[in-house]
Structure 1
Amino acid sequence: MSIRPLPDTLINQIAAGEVVERPASVVKELVENALDSGARRVDIDLEEGGARLIRVRDDGSGIGPEELPLAVSRHATSKIASLDDLEGVLTLGFRGEALPSIASVSRFVMTSRPADAEHGSTLEVGGGQVGSVAPKAHPVGTTVEVRDLFFNVPARRKFLRAERTELSHIEEWLRQLALARPDVEVRVSHNGKPSRRWKGDADMLDQAGLSDLRLHETLGEEFANNAIPVDHSGAGLRLHGWIAEPSYNRASTDQQYLYCNGRAIRDRSVAHAVKQAYSDVLFHGRQPAYVLFLELDPRRVDVNVHPAKHEVRFRDSRLIHDFVYRTLQSVLARTRAGQSAALHGVQNAEHLGGPDNSDGASQQANQYPWHRPQSPLGLQVADQRAGLAQLYGAPASAERSDDASPEGLATSSHAPLPSSSEATLPPLGYAIAQLHGIYILAESSAGLIVVDMHAAHERIGYEKLKRAHDGEGLRTQPLLVPATLAVSEREAEVAEREAEVLATLGFEVTRSGPQSVTMRSVPALLAHGDVEALLRDVLVDLREHGGASPLGGIRVSAARDELLSTMACHGAVRANRRLTVPEMNALLREMEITERSGQCNHGRPTWAHFSLPEIDRWFLRGR
């Protein structure tokens, strides 16, 4: 068979195979075009999950009648004109292949009117055959109607899923859009019935261009209530958005949204950086939830590497990875036990001052009888009401005692019981009992606080060990007998080239042959671990990412943290150890000022709170 050019219709259908995977792909391309045209309202009408009809209407700038045929021509676009434009593109669409690809596999009608035109114009395309432009009444903006998707490609149509499944894919993509563009109103109807509506309002945006209301609308109240704001800039990069507290985690990645310069993307390097930032506080097998917006010079990212533009390629992926990791690690480090309880305490202040608690939260703290016998259930309480002033450890604002070791609790500082004029108690309140030698029960302005004393003390000791070790740096320990490792030739070259980098990580390594290296010193803290396996992993990281790799340091840090975690676990208070009330309060005060104290070293929660309204519901109060 001789070589010959392919017909345009076949070329467009081949392109459609890359761009148009399912109805959600069509909605994505059409809505992105609407946003690029400056639309502030987009209406989407669907039938049969989009397989029968997709109609997208916008109030954007519109298209003139002379440009309608060009709009459905291959690689015709108003968004780029040169390579420089392509490298710096900020629009969502730019290649000019979406409309002709869609039109080649559907019954396609586009009607549009620019603001300076007296009337609109319409153009029909049937299976790739372009008709003629005709006048038609239409408001300013554009309407694109796609009927019978894949009607002329039956093999593709067979791959479409059930109506509900296809609709769910469309809704998921629209959820991504709604998070990124809270200033745009989006209305969706399905089979003639209103389905979803996101009300756009530029006035509800904060300084970062984000909207808490849109967060509630798209991801629900639970995510919004556990969301931690993020906004950090550096090295020409900016990362802002929300990450969920570690206690709010998922079994899957269904609530992970990443945007680069406003474009929803998937990127393994950034996803790894996020997961690594959570590694110290997330229970194994669970996934973090986040909505993150990464902004950078468009010339530092290539958006033209995926047919559907889902993926991008960063010019400096190592820098991006490190920036995201360090930013989120810093934000998560500031999470402390009691933060959400303090917030609930403020919200419940009015409840505490109700008919049954007319004197407010501070008197609520005084109304319990403190002289109680030992409970047969193992509930240990204070014995003398006269000694209340000695029952409480230092408040969270007091100077921290870093001399307290994981084997013991600082209990030397005392503070009097809050007076009746004080509005709130400390975030974790004051201890009132110990349950079964495992849990501390504390009263706070939020209601009841329950603390797993071993898990909490484990985190406190772990963070102290990390601070102490970070202050001294990674000390090295010479090996009594240098160890020779057989490695690949490339890894031997890396060891020779990156000797200084390895030294900063605690390794003294020299190349001893074409496929061997000799290790003379190792990180002192890891000397009793499998340092040979660790060195091999570090060499692989350096080979793949170079000397500036954040992963080499992260891998050593992770190995170090695992060892410190084990040490802290052995030093933490054990179950069934009876603590005095001052010891319990000292533990609560330490939790309030310790980084990441909401989770233990293994990602389990260290505390839980039950609000007074919740407790009231247990006993049907107020009904």
Structure 2
Amino acid sequence: MARINLLSPRLANQIAAGEVVERPASVVKELLENSLDAEATQLDVDIEQGGVRRMKIRDNGRGIVKDDLSLAMSRHATSKISTLDDLEAVQTLGFRGEALASISSVSRMHLTSKAYGEDEAWRVEAEGKDMTTAVRPASHPDGTTIEVRDLFFNTPARRKFLRTEKTEFNHLEEVVKRLALSRYDVGFRLSHNGKQVYDLRPVTDQLHAEHRLGTLLGKKFIENALTIDVEAAGLRLWGWIGLPTFSRSQADLQYFFVNGRVVRDKLVAHAVRQAYRDVLYNGRHPTFVLYLELDPATVDVNVHPTKHEVRFRDGRLVHDFLFSRIHKVIADVRPESGEAPTQIGGAPDAEVASMPTQQSRMAFQREPQSAAGGVPWGAPNNNPVGGEQVRGQLEGLRQLNENANQALGVVGGGEIPQGIDPLTGEILELASNSSMPRVETEQTFYRQEGDNGRRFEELVSESDAHDMPPLGYAVAQIHGVYILAESSVGLIVVDMHAAHERIVYERMKNAFYAKSVPSQPLLVPINVTVSQSEADLVEDSQSVFEAFGFKVERTGVESVMVREVPIILINGDVENLVRDVVSDLTVNGATDLLEARANELMASMACHGAVRANRKLTIAEMNSLLRDMEVTERSGQCNHGRPTWTQLSMSDLDKLFLRGR
């Protein structure tokens, strides 16, 4: 066996570079983060051939004094931490002191810097097998310029794994984009092969920040985004979340920052996905740019060589905070009144689940949230759903069908409506027709009786123009599928089945969660074999199971017994469901699988209970549906994530018919 030898500095740095330097984008990330830590307010990035041939980064930061230049090229040399306490509360983007040494070992790198208050600038480069440094005088303003040429010239095995120039530049551009989104107070310039790509000036206000967002992510994102800014329990979350109708086929428009550091974290992804669960297509991904601020001592950023992952001290607290706040913002979306929506125009993006061609985006407003805890302020929501109507609904889910007139909100007329037996899943015919429940609000200007033949003009004449409901008044129904309504903005088009399906679903959820979940004892309890750690977890998580009507007891070192299950899940695969819940608890520290399964079944029931297509509705019934939409959470999307309504403003209609030309 060979004797143990000390690795040469160059070989040690090249091994370290394997963790730090993967491609040109990795180099740019490390160097730009160093510049930001040096308090730079302007960063210029000049790239050639995707960064393989040349990368030049210039900043106006504090610079490096002459005596520290040689040390800066050494491994584990940094000015950002000095004690263990510093490491436990890192507030800088870089801190390991490996970047410059690793980069210089696999490229030809020159560093020129002039420190604040110094009279001269100096240039340093590493030379020879032993990585000895040579420092020479240079001409340079305050700040630092680093030029990296011929990446992986001395490690051809690494170089052959690089992709095409376009692919490498796309990765590099994404790095610049993420850092530009993390620091609005810093200017960024990016050029590739002599062509300017970005010239982003520093911004300090909301309007210009949204302009930067539009430049980097596209105008459609900011046009279809909701703002969020909430604070609770020492955590602050702010930023933008995309409307559910602005979803993507892949998770390529998701940016999450923790104390200014962009991260890809499973806990964060799970919380956001859970918040959007009720309003997205299967396989679609939400869009967001979110910033989480918390005490640096409560998050560990030193868990991955590229610092893309973090570990929270109290992951459950962070998860619940993210989920609850994002979920509330989405739930508080309401149809907008007063202002016309922003026009998208043209064909929709192939990657975006948006409105049909030549339709404007849905316009929304939500109840503002205070900075402390996100509690809504302003006028209270006077939605009577959940009062006597909910109390009149089921004592158990079996009674859904006994009270289907209220629980399912079925519209009368035509065929006999149908309901679902929550125990068997069978479709049951109801004994009699019923009319759709009417929501009484200050903006209800019609009467259920005698309004069937009244014209829109008569309804409007009873109210002041300023008091017109956000979705206006119904004027017609098309092919038994769409409701046309006239609002103060223009024309409203509603998919009546999709809209009513959401209303029914939300009422069923309110009834389901307003009371203790009815459960059913099993005639033959189910024994589930698990690991010892999983059995311990079940024993410690009784409250989670009991909240959803499960009774699960530990019966051995590696076994648990399921004795009761919720009625709504009686026909499910109980054993596998329990295993999945335990797995979710193990990975995420929390679980939403029980709720997800219950919601799936209620969504299916709501779909069957909602008004069907080709049903002829009276004007009064159509107006009742519009009023219910205005007070129902998440009414902009059906249970499958499809939009329930859209609008065309008068200017949109004028454009269609070339009026004014």
TM-score with structure 1 setting the length = 0.86
Q: CA deviation at 1:77?
A: 0.5
The 3 A distance-change label for structure 1 pair 235 and 493 is same
Aligned to 1:245: 243
Q: CA deviation at 1:410?
A: 3.0
| Cα deviation 1:427-480 (Å, max 9, x = unaligned) | 21211110000110112233221111011001101111111221112233333x
Instruction: Give the secondary structure class of the aligned counterpart of 1:266.
Output: coil
Instruction: Give the secondary structure class of the aligned counterpart of 2:333.
Output: coil
d(CA) in 1 for partners of 2:3 and 2:385? 84
Q: CA deviation at 1:135?
A: 1.4
Q: CA deviation at 1:3?
A: 0.4
Instruction: Give the secondary structure class of the aligned counterpart of 1:280.
Output: helix
Amino acid at match of 2:42: R
Instruction: Give the secondary structure class of the aligned counterpart of 1:431.
Output: strand
d(CA) in 1 for partners of 2:568 and 2:338? 38
Out of 340, 343, 346, the residue aligned to residue 344 of structure 1 is 340
d(CA) in 1 for partners of 2:119 and 2:559? 79
The 3 A distance-change label for structure 1 pair 498 and 273 is closer
Instruction: Report whether the alignment pairs 1:270 with 2:268.
Output: yes
Aligned to 1:104: 105
The 3 A distance-change label for structure 1 pair 127 and 430 is farther
| Cα deviation 1:207-232 (Å, max 9, x = unaligned) | xxx92222122111110011111122
Aligned to 1:466: 509
Amino acid at match of 2:59: D
| Native 8 Å contact 1:107 1:127 kept in 2 | no
Instruction: Give the secondary structure class of the aligned counterpart of 2:229.
Output: strand
Greater shift, 312-321 or 164-173, is seen at 312-321
Aligned to 1:79: 80
Aligned to 1:169: 171
| Native 8 Å contact 1:508 1:522 kept in 2 | yes
Instruction: Report whether the alignment pairs 1:486 with 2:528.
Output: yes
d(CA) in 2 for partners of 1:412 and 1:213? 40
Q: CA deviation at 1:538?
A: 2.4
| Native 8 Å contact 1:182 1:205 kept in 2 | no
d(CA) in 2 for partners of 1:130 and 1:422? 80
Aligned to 1:584: 622
Greater shift, 321-330 or 53-62, is seen at 321-330
d(CA) in 2 for partners of 1:233 and 1:442? 39
Aligned to 2:122: 121
d(CA) in 2 for partners of 1:306 and 1:316? 19
Q: CA deviation at 1:612?
A: 2.7
Instruction: Report whether the alignment pairs 1:331 with 2:329.
Output: yes
Greater shift, 527-536 or 469-478, is seen at 527-536
The 3 A distance-change label for structure 1 pair 398 and 239 is closer
Greater shift, 251-260 or 116-125, is seen at 116-125
The 3 A distance-change label for structure 1 pair 113 and 3 is same
| Native 8 Å contact 1:492 1:511 kept in 2 | yes
Aligned to 1:410: 437
The 3 A distance-change label for structure 1 pair 424 and 154 is farther
Greater shift, 159-168 or 239-248, is seen at 159-168
Aligned to 1:380: none
| Native 8 Å contact 2:554 2:561 kept in 1 | yes
Aligned to 1:442: 485
Within 5 A, what are the aligned runs for 1:213-362? 213-336=211-334, 338-339=335-336, 343-344=339-340
d(CA) in 2 for partners of 1:433 and 1:478? 50
Instruction: Give the secondary structure class of the aligned counterpart of 1:344.
Output: coil
Aligned to 2:155: 153
Q: CA deviation at 1:421?
A: 6.4
Aligned to 1:180: 182
| Native 8 Å contact 1:186 1:197 kept in 2 | yes
Unaligned runs of 5+ in 2: 345-379, 390-405, 412-435, 446-458
| Native 8 Å contact 1:106 1:126 kept in 2 | no
Instruction: Give the secondary structure class of the aligned counterpart of 1:596.
Output: coil
Aligned to 2:643: 605
Unaligned runs of 5+ in 1: 349-395
The 3 A distance-change label for structure 1 pair 116 and 419 is farther
Instruction: Give the secondary structure class of the aligned counterpart of 1:292.
Output: strand
Q: CA deviation at 1:258?
A: 0.8
Q: CA deviation at 1:559?
A: 1.5
| Native 8 Å contact 2:263 2:310 kept in 1 | yes
Greater shift, 150-159 or 62-71, is seen at 150-159
Amino acid at match of 1:187: R
Q: CA deviation at 1:555?
A: 1.5
| Native 8 Å contact 1:111 1:121 kept in 2 | yes
| Cα deviation 1:351-381 (Å, max 9, x = unaligned) | xxxxxxxxxxxxxxxxxxxxxxxxxxxxxxx
| Native 8 Å contact 2:223 2:342 kept in 1 | no
Moved over 6 A (4+): none
| Cα deviation 1:330-358 (Å, max 9, x = unaligned) | 1111123x23x75426999xxxxxxxxxx
Aligned to 2:469: 426
Instruction: Give the secondary structure class of the aligned counterpart of 1:609.
Output: strand
Out of 112, 131, 134, the residue aligned to residue 133 of structure 2 is 131
Aligned to 1:387: none
The 3 A distance-change label for structure 1 pair 95 and 505 is same
Instruction: Report whether the alignment pairs 1:527 with 2:530.
Output: no
Aligned to 2:654: 616
| Cα deviation 1:163-221 (Å, max 9, x = unaligned) | 2221111111111111111111111122223221111133x258xxx922221221111
Amino acid at match of 2:437: A
Instruction: Give the secondary structure class of the aligned counterpart of 1:577.
Output: coil
The 3 A distance-change label for structure 1 pair 483 and 398 is closer
Instruction: Give the secondary structure class of the aligned counterpart of 1:311.
Output: coil
d(CA) in 2 for partners of 1:539 and 1:201? 47
d(CA) in 2 for partners of 1:610 and 1:604? 18
Aligned to 1:40: 41
Amino acid at match of 2:597: A
Instruction: Give the secondary structure class of the aligned counterpart of 2:509.
Output: helix
Instruction: Give the secondary structure class of the aligned counterpart of 1:131.
Output: strand
Aligned to 1:354: none
Amino acid at match of 2:63: G
The 3 A distance-change label for structure 1 pair 521 and 225 is same
| Cα deviation 1:371-428 (Å, max 9, x = unaligned) | xxxxxxxxxxxxxxxxxxxxxxxxx987545535421323486514157963574221
Q: CA deviation at 1:513?
A: 4.3
The 3 A distance-change label for structure 1 pair 90 and 148 is same
